[in-house]
Amino acid sequence: MSLAVLKSRALEGMDAQEVSVEVHLANGLPALAIVGLADTEVKEARDRVRAAIINSGFEFPAQRITVNLAPADLPKESGRFDLPIAIGVLAASGQIPARQLNEYEFAGELSLSGALRPIRGTLAMAVACSRYGSQRGLILPIDNADEAALVSAAAIYPASSLQQVCRHFSAQGSAARLQRHPPPPLRQLGRYPDFADVKGQQAVKRGLEIAAAGRHNVLLVGPPGAGKTMLAMRFPGLLPAMSDAEALEAAAVQSLSGQFRLDLWRQRPFRAPHHTASGVALVGGGSVPRPGEISLAHHGVLFLDELPEFEQRVLDVLRQPLESGQITISRAARQADFPARFQLIAAMNPCPCGYAGHSSARCHCSPEQIARYQRRISGPLLDRIDIQLEVAALDPLQLAAAGAAESSSAIAARVQQAAERQCQRQGKPNQALSPQELEQHCRLDAASHTVLQRSMARFQWSGRAYHRILRIARSIADLAASKDIQRPHIREAIQYQRALRERDLPC
């Protein structure tokens, strides 16, 4: 047989497109050519495959070998095609049987010794492969087996070397054949830091509880050392438990970047990029598009500390993903879509020195300096942040006298109940309600409507702010187990709009 055809997959955004690996042997000068829009990493497989075949005890054919990766217009990258190319060469040269090759898909990078090295994106490949059910198995490196086996519908067959894969097709008995990998034993969930560690700051904790209940974005404003970062790091522990679909989708994004860890399964991601991060680092990109920080925080928390220190053009790239929940990265030759439904927690100082309004009177920033500093955050971005919280510095005597604080588990129980009410009522968090859905689920009585209208007129808030207050008030009502939004809920929701604005309450 001079032709062998195998199946593999190429990553394209969150999807794993099917690729036919066609290997043809012909007479002529010995050479191995790879065609089909392969990048440099794939073309380098020529040397890896030759050495791996020879060091595994097989003969590398002294013929002209052509490898076609179809479809030809789909870009192929990484070393995941090493294994299918090597198996194709051995099958086309008659060194292993080819009768069962169509029952499997192959992916794996080969070392020169023939050992299989892990690859990224195997979870997305397993999801795509599972569409065939048990009709097509997926053979991949043993280091990726636990990750891929999280997709229960996929038939995963791990191998440690090229030689072991070849024995699977050559063996007559079942002893030498690869065995289907069972779902991995999931370890105990990793624990987030506890809110019980934070003394005082009851008003801020209340705001974060509301944010967790409705999945609202938050801005924390306060002087250095007030506890902004400490509060943000504990925030993921308040969020509702992840569903199976959310956990699998978040893990698939982590897998695309090679950062998936089994011990963090079902734990909401927490990403905290430094303020020197570029726009590409946040949204993703590259010649072969890969997910950025906002996608790696999918179904979790993106924490931006020292928010005004980020470049304004970098911050402005967050505006569209904050509303749509996804990001599309376009390049001249390809386009990739990544999910980006994250919860933004941002923190900043009130002024350049950080001590504006502090009881120590240490701040000497002029009003112009303070205004210039706060204007680094554009109005459109600030308009997409639902809750603004002022984190005041606590006196050391107050900290020493503070009693035991409420634990994260106690707050999370209330948040979980509120989230379940939202799911039963509308099937989504309050933050995701459309204007039409707000009219249905956030109706106000006359007194509540009057309070909101006066605030809108006084502070000249936009229509987006109007909808935002309704969403927050709906979350407050859900925490109170109230079917309808009451006047106190509206008044509390208005409070959370004004950390960077005039702080007098409307009557």
- CA–CA distance, 357 with 366 (Å, rounded to integer): 12
- Reported as a single tens digit per residue, the pLDDT across 266-305 is 899 999 999 999 999 999 987 778 899 999 999 999 999 9
What is the DSSP code string of 33-96? EEESSB-HHHHTHHHHHHHHHHHTT-PPPSSEEEEEEESTTS-B-SGGGHHHHHHHHHHHTTSS
Q: State mean pLDDT over 416-425.
A: 95
- CA–CA distance, 149 with 136 (Å, rounded to integer): 14
Q: State mean pLDDT over 325-351.
A: 89
The C-alpha R_g of the chain, in whole angstroms, comes to 28
What is the reported pLDDT for 464?
A: 84
What is the reported pLDDT for 23?
A: 97
Positive or negative: CA dihedral 447, 211, 303, 329:
negative
Burial degree of 135 (CB within 10 A; 0-12, 13-18, 19+): exposed
Nearest to 76 by CA among 10, 6, 9: 10
What is the reported pLDDT for 173?
A: 66
What is the reported pLDDT for 86?
A: 97
Percent of the chain with pLDDT over 70: 94
Give how far the C-alpha of residue 471 lies from the chain's centroid of Cα atoms, to the nearest Å: 24
The strand pair at 64-70 and 31-35 is best described as parallel
What is the reported pLDDT for 259?
A: 87
Question: What is the residue-averaged pLDDT of the chain?
Answer: 90
Q: State mean pLDDT over 363-388.
A: 90
CATH code for 3-170? Answer: 3.30.230.10
Burial degree of 325 (CB within 10 A; 0-12, 13-18, 19+): middle
- Reported as a single tens digit per residue, the pLDDT across 208-232 is 999 999 999 999 999 998 889 999 9
SS (H, E, C) 442-471: CCCCHHHHHHHHHHHHHHCCCHHHHHHHHH
Predicted TM-score (pTM) of this structure: 0.89
- From-to residues of CATH 1.10.8 in the chain: 433-507
- CA–CA distance, 282 with 319 (Å, rounded to integer): 12
Domain 433-507 in CATH 2.30.110? The answer is no
**pLDDT over 90 at 187, yes or no:** no
What is the reported pLDDT for 505?
A: 35
Beta bridge partners of 52: none
Q: State mean pLDDT over 170-176.
A: 73
Task: For domain 195-416, give the fold.
Answer: Rossmann fold (3.40.50)
Structure tokens at 159: 């191998």
Q: Where do we find the tokens 């990048």?
A: 39
- Reported as a single tens digit per residue, the pLDDT across 157-167 is 999 999 999 99
What is the reported pLDDT for 332?
A: 67
- CA–CA distance, 11 with 288 (Å, rounded to integer): 10
| Least confident span in 203-212, 417-426, 451-460 | 451-460
Q: Between 55 and 505, where is the model more confident?
A: 55
Q: State mean pLDDT over 186-190.
A: 64
Dihedral (Cα; 222, 207, 306, 200), 10-degree rounding: 50
Structure tokens at 223: 């002087």
What is the reported pLDDT for 18?
A: 93
Length of the chain: 507
Nearest to 57 by CA among 17, 33, 90: 90
- From-to residues of CATH 3.40.50.300 in the chain: 195-416
Beta bridge partners of 339: 326
What is the reported pLDDT for 503?
A: 36
- CA–CA distance, 432 with 323 (Å, rounded to integer): 8
Q: State mean pLDDT over 306-330.
A: 91
Q: How many other CB atoms are there within 10 angstroms of residue 495's CB atom?
A: 18
pLDDT-derived band at 502 (thresholds 50, 70, 90) equals: very low
